[in-house]
Chains A and B, each alone.
Chain A
Amino acid sequence: MRSFFRKKDVMLIILIFVVLIFSILASEKKGSKVVVQGRDFRKILSKPGTYDITENGRFLMKVEFDGNRVRVVESTCPLKLCVKTGWVGPGGTIICVPNEVIIFFEEKTDYDTVTW
């Protein structure tokens, strides 16, 4: 019978925490423009206001942007996790998996993506 806890276990759990701390440190980013990206569209919101997000004429969600925060007011997805996420500041993201939409703040860089 395998025991619940061995001394070796501490090693693996410390390894997981190290990866966790690195990923938290790597995810701190700043930006002022909001990008709404879906399967085949990419919209950039730079002025405050309420925007309807549609894809090929199909209504997906309503996004509100007030200058430095963003939220999803209304969505057609079943669980409404993107609405429940609430206001999100710079560095945060809202992800709606059923509609395949990501809302994030764009950084002021010259390259498209960062790999790490």
Chain B
Amino acid sequence: MRRITFLSVLTALSSTFYVLENLLPFPVPFGRWGFSNSVVLMIASEIGFGDALIVASAKSILGALFSGRFLSPSFLTGFFGAVSASLVESFLARFDFGYLSLSAMGSFVNNLVQLIVISFLVGSTKTFLLFPLMVILGLVSGTVNAFLASRMGGIVFENYSRFFFAQKKATDGVAGDRVRS
């Protein structure tokens, strides 16, 4: 039960980010900040694979419903991108990398999968010419997201861990598999 509450609070936070970041301008017409992915990054690196997958898919679906773009091309790219990024991040978290490289690899795979989905939608591989631009933008926003996720992880797991997990304290077992509740 505690796990469900915890995950739903984080999903709500993440889908709120997803909707609100549309109001923030991004310096380049392509792309967005992707703040909602920082929540997914935090879960993938601190809790584990399954929970990150749940939150990533739930936040894409909920955020798309709230912003009125469900089943549109941008929803499809965002959904598959977020799911694959959460898979890669939770896999790399097992090998004790820092937040910065987890976020960079996450944004890299996110952009790659987005381009693959777009090339299926458009039916041509010419879309891969956008790849270098997207990766550079992804590194910028990925650094910001890594910073946000490291702050967030500190708040959730160090200071207030007893608020969420009354009996169990956060244990440092295997990296990337911190809490099982």
Contact = CB atoms under 8 A, between A and B. Distances in A.
A51 B67 CA distance: 35
Contact of B126 (A84, A98, A102): A102
Contacts, number: 104
Interface stretch (B12-20, B54-62, B78-86, B146-154): B146-154
B97 A12 contact: yes
Nearest to B124: A102
Contacts of A11: 101
Given A2-B46, A27-B129, A16 B73 contact: no
A23 B133 CA distance: 10
Given A5-B98, A100-B122, A102-B122, A16 B129 contact: no
Given A16-B105, A20-B136, A2 B127 contact: no
B121 interface: yes
B98 A8 contact: yes
On chain A, which size bracket covers the interface?
A: 35 or more
Interface in A57-80: 79
The DSSP consensus for interface residues of chain B is helix
B100 A9 contact: yes
A8 B128 CA distance: 29
Interface in A1-55: 1-6, 8-13, 16, 19-20, 23-24, 27, 37, 39
Contact of B153 (A2, A27, A79): A2
Contacts of B124: 37, 102
A113 interface: yes
B90 interface: no
